[in-house]
Each structure stands twice: as structure tokens, then as C-alpha cells.
Chains A and B, each alone.
Chain A
Amino acid sequence: MKKQAFILLLSISWIWACEDRGQQEPLAENAPELFVPSISKTLNVGSFPQPDRNPMSKEGVLLGKKLFFDTNLSSNGKVSCASCHQPQLAFTDAVPLADHGVTGIELDRHAPPLFNLAWNTTGLFWDGGAHDLESLNFGPLTHPNEMGADLTAVLLYLNQEEEYLNLFEKAFPATPIQSATMSRAIAQYTKTLISQTSRYDLWMNGEIEFNSLELKGYEIYQANCSSCHEEGLFTDLSYHNNGLDESYPDPIDKEGVFLGRFRISHDSLDLGAYKTPSLRNITLTAPYMHDGRFSNLDEVFNHYSSGIKQNSSLAPQLKDGIPLNKEEKEALITFLKTLQDDQFIQKHLQDNPDLP
């Protein structure tokens, strides 16, 4: 009898060992505590999408937060994810093109702000080249001019730190520390960056009133901006050529980085097309566009009113530009300010322990 039980136990643990390590069965008392963040209806999204292989847990998010702010992952020990994605700036870095990666060489694209990422199911990065956050993280981590990480060296480091050994064991029990689990933890953390508590959200929920200028700005937004910056997430999560340039250079050593979404889709209609950025927190995330070429919202408005460059891939809705007069611009800016989410920023400052 005893022998049979022993064999049964052995076979069970053998079955466990054979399972995909990403799909932990929550059966031990030390299993991570899974949760789904609460979602405001003002985001205008259905559920909270997450891949089966990486369900969000409190332990995973805590681990991911530590990794996100850890400069030791970079090749020179000085750059973390947060170097370009700073919480107080809605997780961007206030410069057009960062030169604060490990080599100091200027990057080719502007660091996008990070929030409401779970719903970016049409691809991440400005051109949508990353399918999901779990895959995306290896980009900035290993890019020679960003964090320049050698993944093997990173794993060596993580395996030598007592605190990481504990955190990984809690988030991914009985699983060796691998680049996959590291990336999944960072993805869990970045998916908790949910901006849904701006004055706009309070207004939509009937908790506050808008003044007349804010209301006028909202109407101007609805009439002129909402087809691409769709209300809710304030992006249609799609890719458009918004007329920044007439033509696009394609130097061999840049792997098509200036071609926009074309680099990924090889569709000529995607030349110069980039993902519509959200208007949420727009007052915190200057400069603007994929290369940070516009330093303030006035420059952005001027581009849309009179700076559109025509070519064959231009988004048709921008053919005649979006002419706005001074009063309309002022009202629109007033409305855009209501999309700044200070509560979100406070909640996610690095030393705020209230997570998630």
C-alpha cells in the first residue's frame, strides 16, 4: 500500500514536471494570488485581456516592479526600464530621442508613455512590431543603445540575489529563473499601470462638472480627434500616416526604422504610419510624435491645421488637415488637461508600496 502511494506521488510530480512551466496549477498553499484589476467603464473596454500563460498575480507584479526599476539589468548597471519610462511623466522621459541608454547613442524613436497596455492587443511599439508585452520586454532590455543587456548575464545576476530568489519563487513557484519568467513578471507589472482616474473619468461618472470651456473642448475633440483617438482609451490602437513627412529614408543599418508600420507589415499603405498614441495624460508626455519632433501641443495643433505633408499613404481623414482657430485650440487644450491622471501618477511612484 505504502509503495503504491509512493509510486503515485512520483508519477504526479513527473506530470507536474512535464507541464508547461508557464501554466502553474494553483494547488499549493504557496501558489501566487491571482487577481484582475478593477476597470472603469470610462475606459470603454470589455474585459482585462491577458494571455493564459501569464495570469497576473500580486507576487508577479511585485517582482515585475522591482525588475522595472532595477538598473542592474543593464550592461553598465546604470539604466533601468524606468530611465526612459519615468512614473511622474506617465512613464515617458520628456526628451525627443533618449540618449541615456548604456552607450549614450541617441535612439531613433521617442519613448512612449506606458499605461493601459493590456488593451494594446494590436501590437506594441510605435509600429506594432511586438505582439505582446511578454515578448516586447526583450527589445529594450537587449537593444545595444537602450539597456544593452546580455540575457545570460541577467539570469546569472538574478540567481545570485537572495531577494530575487525569494520573489521569483513566490511569483513562479518551483520554476527556474529564466528570461521567460523575468519578462512575464515585468509584463504583469506594466499591465497594472492603468490610467482611469482623470478628471474626465470623474466627469463621465457624474462625480464632477466640466466648466463651459472644458465642455467646448470636449465637443471639439469629438468632432475633430475622436475618429483616431477613440473615446475611452483615447486611441483606436491602429496605425496611421499622419502626414509628418513626404518621404522616408531607409538606411541599410537602420533595419527600416524610419518606414513606420511598413517595417512590420510590408504594406505600402503603412509607410510612415505609427500607432495612434492615447490622449490620456497628454499634458505630461511632451514632446510628441514617434520621434518627439513637436515640443508642445501648439506645435501639434499647427501640424494638423497647416503642416500635413501629402503622399500616397497619408490617412485619408487628414487630407485637408484639421484647421482650428485660436479659441478652438484653447478650448481643446483645456479639455486635454482633464485627461491628466494625477491619481494614477501618485499611485505608481516608485516608492509607493501600495501595489497593485
Chain B
Amino acid sequence: MNVEITFENTLNGNTLELNQEIFTLPSGESFMVKKFKYYISNVILTDSETNTQYVETDSYHLMGQDFNSAIELGMIPSANYDQITFSIGVDEVANSRTDQTGDLDPNNDMAWNWNSGYKFVILEGEFIHQSTQERTGLVFHIGNNQNYATVTLPLSGLAAGKSASISLETAIDELFSNPNSLVPSNLASTTVMGGPVADQIGQNYADGFIKAN
């Protein structure tokens, strides 16, 4: 059966558009997204009734707004898959070096050049600062092994032998909330590339950031 996985990116339930000043963060600040990319890796489909699994090999996919929006698994063994598992980011082995090819090629602008490894999720944009009312840059480059997050979601409607498209949705607002509420105007630094705030964002995207559409 032929299977693809599609991703739609959203912010507060609205379809994301880059460079549009029409979005509001959970904290209430107006927000314009300029760049949004993320790695999805190690995709597994499971048929829990028969306990069969399809495990994609060399499974590293760079997704993003105005960039790749679908993962083509192609023809895979037929089963009544009812679960999908994947990870946000790249695993420790793949994250330990950057002389790699395909979606991990360092020319994709996702490799760190001073700290070997990959940015797992990048969000760049501008928000209106609550106290200065000024347009302020916001840069999240989240990586590091502790922020590699594995997600399992239930699937419905997949039947053995029938081609299928699995629709998933990312919610950028979830980077700013649940369990850690982030208010960009209150951040000591609006450039986050590691450290405790990056790890809070990692905890936020581990749950609820990607849902079945």
C-alpha cells in the first residue's frame, strides 16, 4: 500500500503563512513568522491488532513552511495501521556528526557549525514587545539530544491494501505553552539557541505540538 504523511502548519488554529502580520501568540503578542522548519525522523507505523510494524529506514525528513510538506513512504507492506510514531529532531547517533547527505546535508542550513549537531526546530519571526511596543526579533533554534522528542498518535481510516494519506498538523502556539508558558516580551534573550529556555520549548513540543489533523 502506498502511504504518504502530510503536514499542515498552524498557529492558534489558523493555517500558517509566512511574513503575514495576522497571528497572535498565546501570550497575546502579535507575531509574524518568517521561517519555520523542523526535522521529523524515525517514522514507524504500527498495526496494534496483529502487532506488525513498518519501520522506515534512514528516516530523516526536513519539513517546513514554504518547504517540504509531505513524507512519501511509498509502497509499504499492507496492514491495518492504527498508530504512527515519529520523533521531532534527529536521534543521538545522527546528531553526533554533520558530514551527512540527503535531508541531513549541512547545506540545508539546519546544521550548527560551532556545536556539531542539528537544529531540530527553528522558528524565526517578529513580535510586538509588550512594553516597548516595538517590533522585536524572535529566534528559536532548538536542538540538543535532550530535546529529541518521540510522539505516538492514533490513526484511523487506514486499511490494508488501500493507499492512504496521513494528515498531521503542527501548532506553533504549542511551542509557547503546555507545560511551559513563554511570553516573548519577558524573555531575557529573544534569541534562544540552547540553555534552559530552549529545553522548555523542547518540553513544549514533545506533547501536543503535532497532532492528527
Contact = CB atoms under 8 A, between A and B. Distances in A.
15 contacts: A21-B101, A22-B99, A129-B114, A130-B114, A131-B116, A132-B97, A132-B116, A134-B97, A134-B99, A138-B106, A142-B113, A151-B105, A187-B99, A252-B191, A264-B115
Given A129-B112, A138-B113, A266-B195, 7 more contacts: A129-B115, A131-B97, A134-B97, A135-B99, A151-B107, A180-B99, A180-B101
Contacts of B100: 180
Give the size category of A's interface with B.
35 or more
A56 to B, nearest CB: 14
B97 A151 contact: no
Contact of A138 (B96, B101, B111, B195): B111
A195 interface: no
A51 B99 CA distance: 12
A263 B112 CA distance: 13
B161 to A, nearest CB: 26
Mostly, the A contact residues are helix
Q: Please give me the 9 A-B residue pairs with the lowest Cβ-Cβ distance, nearest first.
A: A151-B107, A131-B116, A134-B99, A135-B116, A139-B113, A180-B99, A129-B115, A135-B98, A183-B99
Give the size category of B's interface with A.
20 to 34
A183 B113 CA distance: 13
Given A131-B116, A151-B107, A255 B99 contact: no
A183 B99 CA distance: 7
A141 B172 CA distance: 33
A79 B113 CA distance: 18
A86 to B, nearest CB: 22
Nearest to B198: A266
Nearest to A143: B113
Contact of B98 (A51, A138, A266): A138
B208 interface: no
Interface in B98-141: 98-101, 105-107, 111-117
Interface string A3-25: 00000000000000000011000
A226 interface: no
B52 interface: no
Given A21-B101, A139-B113, A143-B113, A131 B96 contact: yes
B26 interface: no
Contacts of B98: 134-135, 138
A125 B99 contact: no
Interface of B: 96-101, 105-107, 111-117, 189, 191, 193-195
A54 B193 CA distance: 30
A178 interface: yes
A129 B116 contact: yes
A65 interface: no
Interface of A: 21-22, 51, 53-54, 125, 129-132, 134-139, 142-143, 151-152, 155, 178-180, 183-184, 187, 252-253, 255-257, 263-264, 266
A277 to B, nearest CB: 18
Contacts of A252: 189, 191
B97 to A, nearest CB: 5
Mostly, the B contact residues are loop
Contact of B114 (A51, A139, A155, A187): A139
Contacts of A255: 114, 191, 193
A130 B116 contact: yes
A134 to B, nearest CB: 4
Given A134-B99, A266-B194, A180 B105 contact: yes
Contacts of A136: 116
A155 B99 CA distance: 14
Contacts of B101: 21, 178, 180
Contacts of B114: 125, 129-130, 139, 255, 257, 263
Contacts of B194: 256, 266
A155 B107 contact: yes
Nearest to B58: A20
Looking at A125, A179, A257, which has the most chain B CB atoms within 10 Å of its CB?
A179
Nearest to A54: B99
B119 to A, nearest CB: 13
A355 B197 CA distance: 49
Contacts of A256: 194
A142 B114 CA distance: 10
Contact of B99 (A142, A179, A264, A266): A179
Nearest to B57: A18
A136 B116 CA distance: 7
A179 to B, nearest CB: 5
A253 B189 CA distance: 10
Contacts of A139: 113-114
